[in-house]
Structure 1
Amino acid sequence: MSATLPRSALIIIDVQESFRQTADWSDADLPAFKSAILRLDRGAREAGIPVVHIFHIGKAGPFTRESGFAVPQEWLPGAPSVVFEKHTHNAFTDTGLDLWLRRRQIDHLVITGIRTEQCCETTTRVASDIGYTVDYVTDATLTFPMTHATSGRVYSPAEIKAHTELVLQNRFARIASVDDALANWQTSRAA
């Protein structure tokens, strides 16, 4: 008897122009991030995997709808399967995402997007807690240096990503590469 393969969705979180308007923004890691997202998007569409875009709508600054910046970054492919707006750090609270996924019997999520340790990590934790299996594709997440409020130490994006992997692995998600996710979709498609 063969095991039932999971039904997947690619979740792309907060890849929006709002971030370019913040003091934290840096283009340093953008080329690799962009390449990873584009590979996953293309692979998902080729495998018939739904692509879900999530955008953060805030109450002030460049994340408000009125700012005109709460829109996809210009390079992000259009025509996703669905778009949800969120007002919290996770993509589930009051968005309709969970219902949309469950109605399609999707039980496996591939999480990507902007800020590795913030909305991507928080969405991963919530997804796991409510019953989804998650592949967290670190190389398809983007973050920026952060300064510790007490010590003043600056943590690099690589250090932040390593910490996120440490706390998610085998607790909330499988840490996966772009190649891992693509191979998984190919396996599911071939079955």
Structure 2
Amino acid sequence: MSALNAARSALVIIDVQESFRQAPFWSDADLPDFKRAVLRLERGAREHGVPVVHIFHIGKAGPFTKESGFVTPLAWLPDSPDAVFEKHTHNAFTDTGLDLWLRRRGIGHLVITGIRTEQCCETTTRVASDIGYAVDYVTEATLTFPMTHAGTGRIYSPAEIKAHTELVLAERFARIADVDDALTGWQSQRAS
């Protein structure tokens, strides 16, 4: 782990919730790899004493409302996170209490994962960086879906969206990492 990331870490799992399975754009195509990556990170965090934080999005309509009953973790996501926060914006910090919770625990390094790559995960990464956190953005542990450009009609694949997200985050807002990078960093952190 670099000196920049020497602060205590937390794993932040964003919007891995049933609401998305109700959306018309949902696809299971990339789900197996995403699930495998998230579960490796979650297991590694537990093994290395890294707090696990779940974030859930609460919307004003549809499957993202609390009343819908879909603002619950996907069935495979392990229970008992160290903290749970609900958000009403794209980032996990605005009016959630997350920043205070992290700072009170001396956490200055975040490993970001979740759904959707280019929306809540990317936005949370940008805000985290702006307010002083070191961030590892674990792209393989994010999930997104094809998107159609409104002006051109071009469809962008999840791989293209992920590549663009890495391009705009790298060295500006986050270190682009894979699961092995995060696990190695936690191992180094625990040894120091």
Question: Could you tell me the TM-score, scaled by structure 1's length?
Answer: 0.98
4+ aligned runs moved over 4 Å, structure 1: none
What does the per-residue CA deviation read over 1:162-190, in whole Å, with 9 as the maximum and x for residues that have no partner? Answer: 00000000000000000000000011111
| Cα shift at 1:4 | 8.9
Name stretches of at least 5 consecutive residues in structure 2 with no aligned partner.
none
Deviations for 1:112-141, whole angstroms, at most 9, x for unmatched residues? 000000000000000000000000000000
SS in 1 for 2:19: helix
| Structure 2 partner of 1:72 | 73
Q: Equivalent residue for 1:6? A: 7
Distance 1:59 1:121 in 2: 22
Q: Which runs of 5+ in 1 are unaligned?
A: none
**3-state SS in 2 of match to 1:12:** strand
2:126 — aligned with what? Answer: 125
Q: What is the rounded CA distance, in whole Å, between the counterparts of 2:102 and 2:81 in structure 1?
A: 14
Matched, 1:185 2:183: no
Partner Cα separation in structure 1 for residue 140 and residue 49 of structure 2: 22
Q: Which residue number in structure 1 is paired with residue 53 of structure 2? A: 52
Residue aligned with 2:72, SS = coil
- Which residue in the other structure is 1:164 paired with? 165
Distance 1:29 1:3 in 2: 32
- For 2:191, the aligned partner's letter is A
Name the residue aligned to 1:27. 28
CA separation in 1, counterparts of 2:15 and 2:4? 34
Give the 5 Å matches for 1:140-155: 140-155=141-156
Report deviation, 1:6.
1.4
Please give the alpha-carbon distance, in whole angstroms, between the structure 2 residues aligned to 1:171 and 1:41: 26
1:185–1:59 distance in 2 versus 1, CA, 3 Å: same
Query: CA contact under 8 A between 2:42 and 2:52: conserved in structure 1?
Result: yes
> TM-score of the superposition, structure 2-length normalised?
0.97
Identity among equivalent positions (%) equals 79
Aligned ranges 1:36-115 → 2 under 5 Å: 36-115=37-116
Q: Does the Cα contact within 8 Å between 2:111 and 2:136 map onto a contact in 1?
A: yes
Q: Give the letter aligned to residue 119 of structure 1.
A: C
CA distance in 2, matches of 1:134, 1:32: 22
Q: How big is the shift at 1:110?
A: 0.2
Partners in 2 of 1:21 and 1:4 — Cα distance? 37
Q: Distance in 2 between the 1:141 and 1:24 partners?
A: 16
CA distance in 1 between counterparts of 2:95 and 2:6 reads 29
In the other structure, the counterpart of 1:136 is 137
Task: Give 1:5 deviation, angstroms.
Answer: 2.6
- The 2-side partners of 1:42 and 1:94 are apart by 29
The separation in 2 between residues aligned to 1:26 and 1:4, in whole angstroms, is 34
The Cα offsets for residues 14-61 of structure 1, whole Å up to 9 and x where unpaired, read as 000000000110000000000000000000010000000000001100
